[in-house]
Each structure stands twice: as C-alpha cells, then as structure tokens.
Structure 1
Amino acid sequence: MDTSTAARSTRWRRSLPPVSVIVAILIAAVFIVVAFFGDLIAPLDPDLQNLLMGATAPSADHLLGTDHLGRDVFSRVIVATGPALAGPFVVALTTVVLGASLGLIAGFRGGRIDTIISRAADLIWSLPGLLVAIVVIGVIQGGIWLTVVVVAFLSIPNAIRQTRSATLSQAGLPYVAAATTLGLSNARVMFRHVLPNVRATVLATGMLDFVNAILIFAALAFLRIGVVPGESNWGLMLAEGQSLIWTNPAVIVAPALAIVAVAASITIIGDWAYDRASAEGER
C-alpha cells in the first residue's frame, strides 16, 4: 500500500462516526421506519379490546402483554410511534425555519430590528413553557395541532437566541464586509454566506428542539392534555398503565423505553452532527 492510499484510508476511517453514533443512527432509523409503517407492522389491532381478558403478562400471543382493556401493548407502542415523532418533527422544523431566520436577521441587521426581535424572544423565553402549554391546551381542549402550535411558539425563542449569537460572531468578519462591498443585498449575504457558517448552531438547535418536543408531548399526554382518550400514545400509555405496574410492567416500561431510546439517539446524533459541522466550518 503506497503513502497516498494509506492516507486516504486513514482519512476515511476518521470520517466514520463513532460506534455510539452508528448505534444511535440505527435506533433512530428503526423508529422512523416504524413511524411510517406502524399500522402495517403492528401484529394486532391496537384498539381491539378484550374486557374479559383484561391486563395480562407477556405471552406468545401478546409479546408485551395486554393493558386493562385487553389491548395488545406491543401493537399500541408501535402505532403510537408515528404521532410521537410527527408532532415534534413539525415543531423542530418550524423553530428552525422561523427561529433561525429571525435570529439571523437580528444578529446581522442589529439596531432597532435586533432590539425588537430579541426583546420579544426574551419575553416568550421567560414564560414557564410547560405550564403555559398545560393551561392553553387544557382550556381550549385542542388536539395535536394546537399542541404543535403552542410548543413551537414556546420553542422559537431558543432558536432565535442561539442563531443570533452565532450570527453576531460572523457579522464582523472580513468575508461579510467583502460581500457587502461587492453590492450584494443583505438577504443574499445573510442566507448565502452567513447562514452556511452558522449551520452547526442551527442544526444543534433543531435537534434539541426535536428532543424537547418529544418529551413535552409525552408529558402533556401523560397529563391527558391534547390527546384523545384511548388513543395509542406513549405518554397516555404511561398514565393509563400506572395501576398495572405489578400486573404487567411492560405497559409502562415499553413506552418509557421508547421515549428514552428516541430522545437519547437523537441527542447523540445531534451532538456528533454539531461537532462535525463545526469542524468543517473551521476549515
């Protein structure tokens, strides 16, 4: 093996993610597949009740047993994956698009625009987010889309603050002055030149908001807020399964592990992606 081949081989090995990240990617991929095809994967109807059977321990017919209404726990956990990820994904996408855009504008333009955007973000950020969500969604009696709107509204300030801070560190650099001198519009400078250099922050913020939204959605569902009674939902399963902890612990353990697995895998992937994007930005 010549020197150039050895060097390429070394670079290729270094570019590979760590084992922990590979495992996290595989776990996340499994959940994504289940989210899209949960209805096809579920072995039984998650809403089919058998009151005569009631709560039972895991068996060959029911891999994770049944709940108090005789519904198959394994099927319910699978079918609940889609809604558990869809809502938080929309929240994360909204916060990245709106929050990052506003933070970019505030950090680049400065002046009165920065003051208005920053003060509004600080005001919303100071609110007790979970309490506000509980009150608003509980009073209006809204479903998943109201939950998405409320959680996104409460999450946007973090994206604004993080992106603004990263943009301020870029705004005074020579390449920005050079682009402005060439007569490029502010929008072009911001979105074509500054944004690529703050993408690590935007990416990390989006991943963090995704994880936070998953936990908030589960917490609200646990409190029976923003959900339809009886639907397949991880948080709601935790609430309904409290009385079954000794009869069939899987009713609680399965959705709890699903929440932890998704949150942990996305966090690990987000940290790795941030470090990688930051390293590429420094080159």
Structure 2
Amino acid sequence: MSTGIQVDQAAVGATPYRRRLSIVVPLAFLCVAALLVMATLGSLLAPQDPTAQDLLSAAAAPGAGHLLGTDSLGRDILSRVLVGARPALIGPLAVAAGAVILAVLLGLLAGFNGGWIETLIVRIGDLMYALPGLLVLIVVAGLFGGGYWVAVVLMIILVSPAGMRLVRSAVLTQRNLPYIEAAQTLGVNKTRLMLRHILPNVVPTVVAMFLLDFVGGLVALSTLSFLGVGSPPGSADWGLMLAENRPLLDQNPWAAIAPALLLIIAAFSVTILGDWLHARLEKGRSARD
C-alpha cells in the first residue's frame, strides 16, 4: 500500500510541472519561430524605411503612424526592431555553429586519441578558457574599430574550449565501452569510429552546447553593440538601439524596451528549447542503449 501511495504522490507532484512544461515549451517554439520570421522577412514586414529620418516626429510616443513610436531622429521603432532581427541573430548563430564545429573536432581528437594530442589540445583549451572573454572582446573590437565580424570570429575561438571539454568528457565515457572495443577488434579505423559510432552518442551534448553558445553569443554581441564597439553607429541592431534610446525613457520608453524585450525573449526561448531537446535526445539515446 505504501508503494501505491508514493506513486500517487509522485504523479500528483509531477502534474503541475508537466502542465507548466507543456505550456512553456510550445510558447518557446512560437517565440523562436516568430524570431526566425522576423530575421528572414523583417525588411518586408517593416511598415516604413528603418533608416528614414523625420526630425519633426522625433521621440514620438506610440501612435497610428508609428505603432512603437520613433527614436530621437524620428526613425520608426517597429521597422527598426523588425529589420534588426537579422543582424541580432545571424552573429550568434555563426558563433554557435563555429564554436560547436571546432569543439566537436578538438573534443573527438582529444578524447579518443589521448596521449600528447590530448595534452596539447587540453592545455591550449585551458589557456583560452582562462582568458576574460568579454574583456578580450572589448579590447580587440576596440582596436579594430568596432568590427562586428571580428568579434564573431574571436568569440568562436574563446567559446569553443568550454565545448571541447564537454565533448571530450562525453567521448572519454564512450571510448572504453564494449562496442568500441569490438569495433577496434574488427579493424574499424579511428575516423570511422569517431564519426560513425562515437559522435552520434554525444549528439545530445552537442545540441545543448549549440543552443547555449547561441544564447551566449546573443548576449555578448549585444553587449558589444551596447558599448559602441559592435555594430556600426546608426545600424538597426538591438543592442545598439538599447544604448541609443536610453535617454528617451521618459518620452518614448518603447524605443528602448522593444529591443531589450526581444533580446530577453530570444535568450529565454532558446535556453528552454535547449533544455527540452537535450532531455528528449538523452531519453531517446538511453532507450536505444
């Protein structure tokens, strides 16, 4: 009887969580889908030219002509946040893709081969991991005159060591399992073992790492733009818009709130999807094992 009561309590306790999860995950999917539409079709959806200035309508509150009002130069805020979705999301996507590719390659090499290869990769990774990433980004971006894509490349290099550690740890777990030893006995070469046998088993880690790197890239690149060393002045970038429109909080707060809110929604939505996908992939891998 005690077992039955425990099961019932667990089921009751899990019900609110499952309900919350069933609501939060679809909302995250909808938010990500909306952001992708904005990034793809933002220039077509924008009701006005995002660069057109109208000083007579500067810092106007939301109204019929400007649903989110205007900035200090009279530019339409709604049009600028729609067009700004592409540069705001493309950079973090490039950071995540580049960092994951580099981390997977180095993690597989280090974890599977061991020896001096592992020592060299791990020591270089430790050195890069010890650097204050944001400070290095600010300094280098400032030296290059605020180059956005310079910051993206540098972020890939700085972010990949953390991912390399995760992949290496997952590979070390798989390396000594019976199926790998059996494949080695049959004469399967190392490249095939790493790509066809080990890599599929670390996919959950890689997917979670990709989405988390995207969020990290989104926050870091927006911070650089906010500080004035990211996107060039005047461009429709969410971080830059937040910095430019802070003085307008008492006139048209939506000029700063809109880009800030979109950054928060993007970060939270992708993080939630990352957790959900990782759990689903891990569950599916455990079921196959």
Common topology (TM > 0.5): yes
The interval holding the TM-score normalised by the smaller chain is over 0.9
Aligned equivalents of 1:279, 1:119: Cα separation in 2: 33
Q: Normalization by structure 2: what TM-score?
A: 0.91
Aligned equivalents of 2:224, 2:39: Cα separation in 1: 20
- Structure 1 residues without counterparts, runs of 5 or longer: 1-13
1:164 to 164, 168, 191: 168
Q: What amino acid is the match of 1:125?
A: Y
Aligned equivalents of 2:146, 2:188: Cα separation in 1: 45
1:50 to 54, 72, 77: 54
Counterpart check, 1:33 vs 2:37: yes
1:205 Cα deviation from its structure 2 partner: 0.7
Tell me, yes or no, if the aligned pair for 2:141 and 2:148 is still in contact at 8 Å.
no
1:19 Cα deviation from its structure 2 partner: 2.4
- Counterparts of 1:218-237 in structure 2 under 5 Å? 218-237=222-241
- Counterparts of 1:88-167 in structure 2 under 5 Å? 88-167=92-171
Tell me, yes or no, if the aligned pair for 2:61 and 2:252 is still in contact at 8 Å.
yes
Tell which deviates more after alignment, 17-26 or 59-68: 17-26
How many aligned positions are there? 268
Deviations 1:94-143 (A, max 9, x none): 11111111111111111111110011111101100000000001111142
Q: 2:14 is matched with which residue?
A: none
Q: What amino acid is the match of 1:234?
A: W
- Counterparts of 1:179-194 in structure 2 under 5 Å? 179-194=183-198
Q: 1:270 is matched with which residue?
A: 274
Aligned equivalents of 2:110, 2:29: Cα separation in 1: 34
Percent same amino acid among aligned pairs?
49
Q: 1:205 is matched with which residue?
A: 209
Aligned equivalents of 1:143, 1:32: Cα separation in 2: 24
Q: 1:254 is matched with which residue?
A: 258
Q: Normalization by structure 1: what TM-score?
A: 0.93
Counterpart check, 1:214 vs 2:218: yes
Q: What amino acid is the match of 1:144?
A: Y
Q: What amino acid is the match of 2:113?
A: R
1:80 to 80, 84, 93: 84
Q: 1:6 is matched with which residue?
A: none
Q: 1:173 is matched with which residue?
A: 177
Aligned equivalents of 2:130, 2:236: Cα separation in 1: 33
Q: What amino acid is the match of 1:85?
A: L
Tell me, yes or no, if the aligned pair for 2:226 and 2:243 is still in contact at 8 Å.
yes
The secondary structure found in structure 2 opposite 1:52 is helix
- Structure 2 residues without counterparts, runs of 5 or longer: 1-17
Tell me, yes or no, if the aligned pair for 2:146 and 2:232 is still in contact at 8 Å.
no
Q: What amino acid is the match of 1:118?
A: V
Q: What amino acid is the match of 1:211?
A: V
Aligned equivalents of 1:194, 1:56: Cα separation in 2: 58
